[in-house]
Structure 1
Amino acid sequence: MTDDEKRRWKGPSDKRGTSGRRMGERKIIAHRAKNESSKRWIERQLQDPYVQKARSEGYRARAAYKLLEIEEKLHLFRRGQRVVDLGCAPGGWLQVAGIKGASEIAGIDLLPVEPLAGVHIVQGDINEPGDVAELMKGLTGPPDLVLSDMAANTTGHKQTDHLRTVALVEMAAAFAVEHLAPGGTFCSKVFQGGATKEVLDLLKANFTSVKHIKPPASRAGSPEIFVVAKGFRGSRKAG
């Protein structure tokens, strides 16, 4: 990819991407500064080298580096892919997909996402058939790669938070099994040691390879880990 093509997806020349990230940061900081724990979160963000790197390189979120590091190890992308990003706000993973040569990119999130050139973005819910139908209008065929960085808002109650997170992973995996093209790949955030047995059974029944990975950009103290399933069989087995 040429430097001009990269600048289309990130960097100072992408005014929408850069301004969108800064606007989002201001909104998040204003909301979270209401209590001491939120202040600590802000301080950690300001000191985080990945946050600083994302700002300097034009990515909308530090999470972009998680996907780049997963790609370096497990090679999710190839040029000309159709890509869907579930839980795409604020758009860092969409930028990575573009930089890696995806020909068609569609993303969905409950939150609004600043426009990104060449990307079909839907504000909606993957549980709503109408929203999913609108999402798929951004592609000319089934996706070759389904990404999910979805995470539930925490309540502070460990069991409740775990169940909410598991539900999101299950939704993402079900979406991938329903929509992926044969040979396709699924990459999703999971927590607490990896995907649950039910999700793993579903993935193993439908993909030729299932692996877990914790990229360096994922904070050491975070319970998050990612599951990558490759070689979708196209049979859509229930598991």
Structure 2
Amino acid sequence: MPKSQGGARGQRQLSVRVKTAKKRSVSSKLWLERQLNDPYVAEAKRQGYRSRAAFKLIEIDDKYWLLKPGMRVVDLGAAPGGWSQVAANKVEAAEGSGRVVAVDINAFEPLPGVASVIMDFLDRNAPAAIIDALGGEADLVMSDMAAPATGHAKTDHLKIMALCEAALDFAFEVLKPGGAFLAKVFQGGTEHELLAQMKRSFKAVRHVKPKASRPESAELYVLATGFRGRG
């Protein structure tokens, strides 16, 4: 967890409570309250990351050494850019060593050392366009995408698994032999077929739950390494 800042180090942090205004729903109030009391949100602002999600990738990389100088990386559903920031720093993209391509259907502020491709990665022309932007096949395809939550656990699980499956299909088109795939999934019991496909196509497949992922969240990440072709 990010360390607390300032003179209050070691002291208990006071939580912020948000009053429910007429135009703010209860769910909106709870979300805002959680954001205001989240140490990762505060630390992301302090360090200049665009989202708290940056710490999830940092933790995963610290454990599994995914990102190395000179690598070519694709970040699917990249906006607002937290993961791309981390990847660009790790592969030394700004220094001209590695290359990061951030893909999203929505435009977002440019990032140093990151090439933005504003298109749907499901577009039939996307793989060729992204390989061209990368300058070759990818060493890593990563996705922190999540569909808008409905509040119905089973529906939300199925939606994010569908996104992960689509990202995996895309990865098959752009990954180089030996490459890796990292994507968000939800715990829910319907991912067996997806994992079986990964195990046929990669040397190693594992689940990862970084500390920056909120404890109450069902999210975790699937990490597949050693790409050996579509199984």
Provide the residue aligned with 2:69 in structure 1.
Answer: 79
Counterparts of 1:1-239 in structure 2, within 5 Å, are: 34-102=24-92, 103-192=98-187, 196-233=191-228, 235-237=229-231
Provide the residue aligned with 1:4 in structure 2.
Answer: none
Are the counterparts in 2 of residues 66 and 215 from structure 1 also a CA contact under 8 Å? yes
Q: What TM-score, normalized to structure 2? A: 0.83
Are the counterparts in 1 of residues 131 and 174 from structure 2 also a CA contact under 8 Å? no
Identity %: 51
1:59-118 C-alpha deviation (Å, 9 max, x unpaired): 110000000000111111111000000111110100111111251110111222211122
Of stretches 188-197 and 174-183 in structure 1, the one that deviates more from structure 2 is 188-197
Task: Give the Cα separation in 2 of the matches to 1:65 and 1:215.
Answer: 8
**Secondary structure at the counterpart of residue 210 of structure 1:** strand
Task: Give the Cα separation in 2 of the matches to 1:195 and 1:180.
Answer: 25
Counterpart of 2:213 in structure 1: which amino acid?
A: S
Deviation of residue 132 (structure 1)?
Answer: 4.0
- In structure 1, the gaps of 5 or more residues are 1-32
Could you list the runs of 4 or more consecutive aligned residues of structure 1 that deviate by over 2 angstroms after TM superposition?
A: 130-137, 156-160
**Secondary structure at the counterpart of residue 108 of structure 1:** strand
**Secondary structure at the counterpart of residue 33 of structure 2:** helix
**Secondary structure at the counterpart of residue 182 of structure 1:** strand
Are the counterparts in 2 of residues 83 and 105 from structure 1 also a CA contact under 8 Å? yes
Cα root mean square deviation, aligned? 1.6
1:150-186 C-alpha deviation (Å, 9 max, x unpaired): 1010122333222211110101111112210011111
Are the counterparts in 1 of residues 122 and 170 from structure 2 also a CA contact under 8 Å? no
1:22-70 C-alpha deviation (Å, 9 max, x unpaired): xxxxxxxxxxx74221121011111100000000011110000000000
Q: Choose between structure 1 and 2: higher helix proportion.
A: 1
- In structure 2, the gaps of 5 or more residues are 1-22, 93-97
Task: Give the Cα separation in 2 of the matches to 1:148 and 1:108.
Answer: 10
Provide the residue aligned with 2:19 in structure 1.
Answer: none
User: Alpha carbons of 1:148 and 1:218: their partners in 2 closer, same or farther (altered >3 Å)?
Assistant: same
Of stretches 60-69 and 184-193 in structure 1, the one that deviates more from structure 2 is 184-193
Are the counterparts in 2 of residues 146 and 176 from structure 1 also a CA contact under 8 Å? yes
Are the counterparts in 2 of residues 195 and 227 from structure 1 also a CA contact under 8 Å? no
Are the counterparts in 2 of residues 124 and 131 from structure 1 also a CA contact under 8 Å? yes
Task: Give the Cα separation in 2 of the matches to 1:113 and 1:136.
Answer: 20
